[in-house]
Amino acid sequence: MTDLSRLVDTSHVAICCGTGGVGKTTTAAALAIEGARRGRNTVVVTIDPAKRLANALGLDELSNAPHAIPRARWDRDGRARPGGHLHALMLDTKTTFDQLVVKYALSDEQSAQILENRFYRNIAGALSGTQEYMAMEKLYELHDAGTFDLIVVDTPPTRHALDFLDAPNRLTRLLDHRVFRFFIVPTRATLRVGSRAAQAFLRPIARVVGSEAVDDVIAFFRAFEGMEEGFRERAAAVNALLASSETKFVLVTSPRRDAVEEAEFFAGRLAEGAYAVDALVVNRVHDHYCSISPDVLRERAAQLASVDRAVVDSPETAARARLADRYADLAELEEIATRERAELAGLEERVASASIVHVPELGHDVHDFDALGAVAAHLVAGTAPGRDGSASVPDR
Amino acid sequence: MDLERFCASSRVVIVAGKGGVGKTTVTAALATAAARTGMSVLIVEVEGKSGLAACFDRPSLTYEETELRPGLRARTLTPDDALLEYLDDHGMRRISRRLSRSGALDVVATAVPGMRDILVLGKVKQLERAGVADLIVLDAPAAGHAVNFLVSARGLVDAVKVGPINKQATDVLELLHDAARCQVVLVTLPEETPVNELVDTAYAIEDRAGVALGPIVVNGCVTARSAEAGHTREAIEADAAVAGHTISPAEVDALARATAFRTDLRERQVAQCERLARKLPLPQVRLPFLFTADVGPAEIDILADALAAGIGALDPVGAR
């Protein structure tokens, strides 16, 4: 297993993906801190970070623009390489989308029409996929600004998070779609036939969702006319950035079976898009404490707990019972350490060419710079034990 | 309050929580525990993930019900399924496939926020009304989507003033607001961030969705048998000497570090449970951390036992 130091040193974009609850945002923040400490001008794009982590990153309010984090906070020992900077932002999906509309609108009137449209507001605020899309849009914007050496991007915690691979295409596909053509038919062609066909199609929909909603959709598509080209070009540019060799994908997971299965799903999705998993980060892995098998430890616990050759109330029995408890506790920790490695084996084989790092269960929440720094140290120090679980570097 | 009374207190239980807290495991355990009391139970899975099936050693679930154990069935109910069925039910069978194929369905569903959620909940309501099971356990989408999921009905009643969707949303609101028909069980972990997020979610659900909250399930609570015994090397060596147990220095070291880790973790977890209790006056049911990386039928049985015991120990006044 190799560590992530090369990735942090050389890549331009690092995209952290994975299912919810596996420490994706934490990993993204830790990678960014490490990047800054290694002298790179770094920015991390977070999506819905936990409150305390957001506070630590100085993201107390919605901050859709990069916000510099004072050096003193991420370089407490003063040993970071000079030249590094750390910035953070919290993605504001709606604002990002609004800015995009304004950018590509042909006139102020057109952008105003779209921004006021109820259908647009639903898409911008809530449509699944929009968050992914805007994360990529924000990434491109930061890349395009040309000021950052390293851009670390967190992705939304949904199964559809990898829709971002597809997200830039999504709107253009919608625009290309016959539905779109269909909805704008009444304006473009005054042919009664087209209009009548549209009516026949729209009437039943209106019966279900109400005619207001249908009117909103039609108004949206009409307002959008003429902007397709701009969006299409932008999507192509984002795709090129994602496919570039400077962009690295970091798959984040925990060692529990459900998370590993989701990670395998993500790895499959990436492969479908011909993207490689460049790094696999497994958070909260239980370390081995010794090289004795759980079965042997449990046996020792059972032997010590048996009282057949001692008087029940003797100090010896009490000492044996205490030792038995300790062996039983250790046996369970060894058991889970072994099981987790077995659980990960298939996934690790699948992404064998990636840097693979295990971050040990730290036993506490990670929401300040010291704790993030500790995670970062694990990410670049490669503390992961071998696959057989025999050689382990304890975390304390 | 015994488990039977808890399970009989509402016909729909919605299990909600953030990703990674074990919501799906708790859904499986609760359904198993209820089925053991002789009730017929139906699990409804809304995200099309494989986790629930894996809890019962099945490859996947389908839109058709599958029997997992005697008295326990499960099915999926994704928004797309629900929308197609809804259109079929409303005399649009002929156009529903065409709408779906052309992508128009996506556009329409987007036009009305919460439409997908309301279709899922509407279908759940229909199942409840049809009496398909004594208890329906719904594995809700991960929070914060859980809050949106539950408030979508109210938004829709306002947004779509007439027609079948309005009727659907009104019916769903009735279901959600009736504690005798529906309650939400929130799941969390005894850790700082999950506790904070759970508290926010709980208040949002009570205030904005008006849904009754059942007990909080705190998942993944570790025990430390050796907490009292002491975890210093000296304590271990002293016990080994008294017990006449030969032990290598490496083993002493392993025991010391492992027991210190567990004792420490347990103390922090207990503190988080207490903090949760101070912030949220709801009864807590604590489930043990399982030292297995995977959760299958054997683990679900253990958790079902713990859940039944935990609910059994609740104060009947505090629990709804």
Q: Which of A208, A338, A396 is most worth mutating to test chain B (most B CB atoms within 10 A of its CB)?
A: A208
Q: Which of A26, A173, A258, A333 is most worth mutating to test chain B (most B CB atoms within 10 A of its CB)?
A: A258
* pLDDT tens digits, one per residue of A338-391: 999 999 999 999 998 999 999 998 877 787 888 898 899 999 984 433 333 333
Q: How many CB atoms are located within 10 Å of the residue B313 CB?
A: 12
d(C-alpha A387, C-alpha A24), whole Å = 23
Residues 94-153 in A contacting B (C-alpha not used; CB under 8 Å): 119, 122-123, 125-127
Q: What is the mean pLDDT of residues B103-108?
A: 64
Is it the case that residue B284 has pLDDT exceeding 90?
Answer: yes
One domain, residues A236 and A283:
yes
CB-based contact A391:A382 (threshold 8 Å): no
Q: What is the CATH number of the domain that holds A129?
A: 3.40.50.300
Direct distance between the N- and C-terminal alpha carbons of chain B, in angstroms, rounded to an integer:
9
Q: How many CB atoms are located within 10 Å of the residue B185 CB?
A: 24
> In total, how many domains does chain A have?
2
In terms of pLDDT, which residue wins out, B4 or A325? A325
Is it the case that residue A316 has pLDDT exceeding 80?
Answer: yes
In a domain, A155, yes or no: yes
Do B163 and A177 count as a contact with CB atoms less than 8 A apart? no
Return the ∠ at Cα A311 (arms to A306 and A312), rounded to 5°.
65
Q: Which of B98, B106, B108, B232 is most worth mutating to test chain A (most A CB atoms within 10 A of its CB)?
A: B108
Distance from CA of B172 to the nearest CA of A (A): 16
In a domain, A159, yes or no: yes
Q: Which of B252, B272, B294 is most worth mutating to test chain A (most A CB atoms within 10 A of its CB)?
A: B294
In a domain, A169, yes or no: yes
- pLDDT value at residue A189: 43
* pLDDT tens digits, one per residue of A260-307: 988 998 899 888 888 899 999 999 999 999 999 999 999 999 999 987
In a domain, A315, yes or no: no
Q: How confident is the model at residue A198 (pLDDT cuts 50, 70, 90)?
A: low
Provide the residue count of chain B: 320
Closest Cβ opposite residue A257 in set B238, B244, B294: B294
One-character DSSP codes across B65-130: -EEEETTEEEEE--HHHHHHHHHHHTT-HHHHHHHHHHTHHHHHHHHSTTHHHHHHHHHHHHHHHH
Is it the case that residue B102 has pLDDT exceeding 70?
Answer: no
In a domain, A344, yes or no: no
In a domain, A152, yes or no: yes
Q: Count interface pairs A-B at CB distance under 8 A.
A: 206
How far lies A292's CA from each of A321, A322, A394, B135, in Å? 20, 19, 15, 46
One domain, residues A273 and A215:
no
Q: How confident is the model at residue A168 (pLDDT cuts 50, 70, 90)?
A: low
Confirm or reject contact between A92 and chain B (CB < 8 A): no
Do A289 and B258 count as a contact with CB atoms less than 8 A apart? yes
Distance from CA of A312 to the nearest CA of B (A): 13
One domain, residues A243 and A281:
yes
* pLDDT tens digits, one per residue of B202-217: 998 888 888 899 999 9
One domain, residues A157 and A240:
yes
Contacts of B60 in chain A (CB under 8 A): none
Contacts of B95 in chain A (CB under 8 A): 201, 204
One domain, residues A105 and A220:
no
* pLDDT tens digits, one per residue of B288-317: 999 886 788 999 999 999 999 999 988 764
One domain, residues A5 and A54:
yes
One domain, residues A75 and A60:
yes
Confirm or reject contact between A364 and chain B (CB < 8 A): yes
Give the range among A157-161, A194-198, B73-77, B279-283 with minimum mean pLDDT: A194-198
Do A336 and B255 count as a contact with CB atoms less than 8 A apart? no
Do A262 and B49 count as a contact with CB atoms less than 8 A apart? yes
- pLDDT value at residue B31: 97
Closest Cβ opposite residue B164 in set A208, A289, A328: A208
* pLDDT tens digits, one per residue of B141-151: 775 567 777 87
Helix or strand or coil: residue A144? helix
Closest Cβ opposite residue A363 in set B108, B163, B264: B264
In a domain, A46, yes or no: yes
One domain, residues A141 and A210:
no
Distance from CA of A48 to the nearest CA of B (A): 10
Per the prediction, chain A carries an average pLDDT of 82
- pLDDT value at residue B88: 81
Contacts of A26 in chain B (CB under 8 A): none
In a domain, A273, yes or no: yes
Is it the case that residue B58 has pLDDT exceeding 60?
Answer: yes
Closest Cβ opposite residue A323 in set B92, B142, B240: B240
Q: E strand or H helix at B137, and its extent? A: strand B135-139
Question: How large is the C-alpha radius of gyration of chain B?
Answer: 23
Distance from CA of A256 to the nearest CA of B (A): 5
The torsion region of residue B224 among left (phi > 0), alpha (psi -120 to 50) and beta comes to beta
Do B20 and A254 count as a contact with CB atoms less than 8 A apart? yes
Residues 257-316 in A contacting B (C-alpha not used; CB under 8 Å): 257-259, 261-262, 289-290, 292, 304, 315-316
Helix or strand or coil: residue A17? strand
* pLDDT tens digits, one per residue of A93-113: 889 989 989 998 989 999 999
Q: Which of B200, B226, B279 is most worth mutating to test chain A (most A CB atoms within 10 A of its CB)?
A: B226
One-character DSSP codes across B266-307: HHHHHHHHHHHHHH--S-EEEEEPPSSSS--HHHHHHHHHHH
- pLDDT value at residue B42: 97
One domain, residues A59 and A128:
yes
Do A208 and B163 count as a contact with CB atoms less than 8 A apart? yes
pTM: 0.85
Give the range among A203-212, B104-113, B180-189, B310-319 with minimum mean pLDDT: B104-113
One domain, residues A103 and A164:
yes
Q: How many CB atoms are located within 10 Å of the residue A107 CB?
A: 9
From the list B257, B260, B302, B292, the residue with the least C-alpha distance to A332 is B292
- pLDDT value at residue B79: 81
- Pairing verdict, β A150-154 and A247-253: unpaired
Residues 225-244 in A contacting B (C-alpha not used; CB under 8 Å): none
Quote ipTM for the complex. 0.86
Task: Return the structure tokens found at B43.
Answer: 């699990």
* pLDDT tens digits, one per residue of A203-255: 767 777 777 777 877 787 778 777 777 877 888 888 899 999 999 999 999 99
Which domain does A210 fall in, by range? 186-224
For chain A, what percent of residues have pLDDT higher than 90?
44
CA A334 to chain centre: 30
One domain, residues A219 and A233:
no
Name residues whose C-beta falls within 8 Å of residue B306's C-beta, 6 or more positions apart in sequence: B29, B286, B287, B288
CB-based contact A390:A292 (threshold 8 Å): no
One domain, residues A26 and A83:
yes
* pLDDT tens digits, one per residue of A22-61: 889 999 999 999 999 999 999 999 987 877 788 888 777 6
